[in-house]
Amino acid sequence: MLMAVAASSCGGRPTARVQPEPPPLNGMIAFSSDRSGSWDLFVMNADGSGARQLTDTPTTNEFSPIWSPDGLEIAFSTRDESPDERIEVMGADGRNRRSLAHHPTYCNHPCWSPDGLRIAFAMGHEDQTEIFVIDADGANLHNLTDHPSLDTSPSWSPDGKRIAFTSNRSGSDDVFVMDADGRNPRNLTRDGSNSSGPSWSPDGNTITFDSDRNGNWEVYRIGANGRNVRRLTDNPGWDQQSTWSPDGTRIAYGSQRGAVSMIRVMDADGGHDEPLTDSSSAARSPSWAKK
């Protein structure tokens, strides 16, 4: 057996050049997994070790976790047997859950402002969802988009001045950027395919997003000015839900290449791609803590 392994590895194609070592995987990643029976929220070290269950709610599904900028809280969405989908917030230890907003059809994709004072999210019905913003204490709910289309998945720029989001107002799903007060929306990805799920890099210069422009969902990056689109993943499964490491060198994302979705990580240029969770249960919606 050992000889066979040695022979096959010797018989492989010679490597063109040796890749440098990948940057270290520091910090914490929150994600959603069905490993406990229902969908629950977990945190793990960014190298995939030390996974810990934060919610244990057999009749409620928790999705889309996102860390507060100070790392002390996690906002997320929930769906249970009640009519409403909700945005909730809890401590990073899973305690002190509180509900911020709810809607009978759709209430999802929370995103903190960089100062931690507000949360943007998407809410609405089948034909029209809007990006709303609410204070982290639940006050001052207001609509930022107010447009008869599906506006979803906000991502706040690190300087707090802009919000990227997904909208189908141009006919297909596209990534838009607007001022943080909802003014001046502009389309970054106008190419007729679907592009969604923007995630702003820590230095504010780059936005990752998901697109099916090559017939299959892959993770791409684009300059925040709309230039220099580049594909980062290339495989037949879906690759979506990107989140940046705090130092901007690595990107974690959700990927389904076999029977279940997994969390994977790669360099910010697509190199050193590797799994962080295994195939024994589904995992998705990673969020890398900002500190």
Residue selected from 218, 251, 252, 273 as contacting Ca ion according to rule CB under 5 A: 218
* Identity of the residue, 38 or 105, whose beta carbon is nearer to Ca ion in the bound complex: 38
Whether 58 and 47 have beta carbons less than 8 Å apart is answered as no
Residue among 234, 232, 254, 251 nearest 243 (CA)? 251
10, containing H or E segment? helix 2-10
Q: Which is nearer to Ca ion, 56 or 181 (CB)?
A: 56
Our CB check for Ca ion shows the closer of 225 and 235 to be 235
Q: Using the rule CB under 5 A, which residue among 38, 105, 194, 249 binds Ca ion? A: 38
Residue 79: strand, helix, or coil: strand
Q: Does 88 bind Ca ion (CB under 5 A)?
A: no
DSSP state, residue 147:
-
Query: Minimum CB separation from Ca ion for residue 40, in Å?
Result: 4
Among 26, 57, 168, 281, which residue interacts with Ca ion (rule: CB under 5 A)? 57
In the complex, the smallest distance separating the C-beta of residue 62 from Ca ion, rounded to whole angstroms, is: 5
Residue at 95: amino acid letter: R
One of 60, 149, 194, 256 touching Ca ion (CB under 5 A): 60
Short-list 251, 272, 259, 147, CA closest to 209: 251
Region from 33-41, 199-207, 245-253, 261-269 binding Ca ion, contact rule CB under 5 A:
33-41
Residue 196 CA to residue 176 CA, distance in Å, equals 9
Pairwise CA distance, residues 191 & 100, whole Å: 36
Which residues lie near Ca ion (CB under 5 A)?
A: 38, 40, 57, 60, 216, 218, 235, 239
